[in-house]
Amino acid sequence: MTYEFYADVFFLTNFYLDFLAVYAVSEVLQQKKRLLRYVICCALGSLIGCVLFLVVSNYDFYLICIHFLVNPGMMVCAFFPSGKKIYAKGYGLMYFMVLLLGGSVEWMYGTVAKGHCYELCLLLTAVPVMVFCFILRKKRKNVHRFYPVRIVHNGKMAAARALYDTGNTLHDPYVKQAVHIVSKDIFEALGGKEAFLTRLIPFSSVGCKEGMLEAFTVESLKIGEGDEEISISPAVLAAADAALFGNRAYQMILHCCISDNMPLEAFQGARSKERCFSKE
């Protein structure tokens, strides 16, 4: 039996399915980059795959190159810079998505279209991906609440985007106040250890049963809500490692108690479980 190889069809099919898979994975992992980057990475991956198919005579070696070199490289390029866990999760999710999409194409082509309109079947695979991404975004919009905040201390001011987290119940055992979590970049912007007398407080969270955070007190924390601004003076903050925030869209996690000072309707549906900090 002989086969005819159409390089353009091979390239476009792989590029299209890879792009849909990478885009869906970026939504799941919240690793949003420019679409142009995804296009370039998927195009290069498909092009290299096409060249390898033509050049490599041993099919098993070709599969090894695709699965362990080309696809992982494409994933790293698409989400760089990210942690190893993101790359590993992305690699696994991408294969799941590609298998799902490829199986959908074959099912529609063989069952629904009766062996006709392959191109249409291929294009229709984008529909469930778009619906999935739309539902995921809608759900996250209802779950997460973000607020602009300003932290003021000794004439310095740092602005950040904060996530309201009902799971953050961390309290400072020394001054008996609620603790808001900030990135170390914010801590350094306010002067770092030279500007504050820090103290270690115990915490537990998902993925870290026991740990210590550096807590410090600032003059005021101003939280924006519409045209109004809620001020907490003084406020206790704790600096967390950059790994907690990663490439997320916020640099601070507000304590659950701020709902007592802000309009109740602002927190309808707020059920974030990004991290659950609690006192020991």
Q: Over the stretch 147-205, which tens digit does the pLDDT of each residue have?
A: 899 999 988 899 988 888 777 888 888 888 889 999 888 898 888 888 888 899 887 76
Distance in angstroms (rounded) separating the CA atoms of residues 75 and 90:
7
For the chain, what is the mean pLDDT? 81
Q: What are the residues whose beta carbons fall under 8 Å from the beta carbon of 15, sequence distance 6 or more?
A: 42, 43, 45, 46
Tell me how far apart the alpha carbons of residues 211 and 202 are, in angstroms, rounded to a whole number.
Answer: 6
Q: Does 228 or 147 have the greater pLDDT score?
A: 147
Residue 233 exposed, middle or buried by CB count within 10 Å (0-12, 13-18, 19+): exposed
Residues 126-148: what's their mean pLDDT? 79
Percentage with pLDDT > 70 across the chain: 86
| Residues paired with residue 201 on neighbouring β-strands, in sequence order | 213
- Distances from the Cα of 57 to the Cα of 5, 36, 63, angstroms: 14, 33, 11
